[in-house]
Amino acid sequence: MTSVLGRSQALLAGITAKAKLRKGLVFGLAIFFFFQIYFVRELFAAELLFGVIFGVLLVLGSTAYMLGAIGERGLDVAEAGIRLFARSARRGYNMMEELSRKSFRHPRSESAQ
């Protein structure tokens, strides 16, 4: 009888030890999965923040590029307008110079003689 009692106590001690081990193992796995889920959520949040930041930088860079391109086009148009204005001014200056060289009176008029 003592052998049966000893065996049952040994079996009960083994089951109890295994239950503690299983309980600890399950608890450890639960913590591991919790941290894995937590880190995945944190990585998603970080990726979302970086995506938003890079999107803002992309918009700012695109805006700066577009303003520069529009400015260059504006300078080209302004240069063409200035060339046109300079040509007109030069023509007007030459015409005024030519008129200033001529006398206001006709050479055969009475006052010129």
Give the tens place of pLDDT for each residue, 19-31. Answer: 776 777 778 888 8
Contact in structure between 83 and 89 (CB atoms under 8 Å): no
Residue 86: the pLDDT is 84
Residue 67: the pLDDT is 95
Residue ranges of the chain whose pLDDT lies below 50: none
Cα angle 18-20-26, degrees, rounded to a multiple of 5:
100
pTM over 0.85? The answer is no
Cβ neighbours of residue 106 closer than 8 Å, sequence gap 6 or more? 112
Contact in structure between 105 and 112 (CB atoms under 8 Å): yes
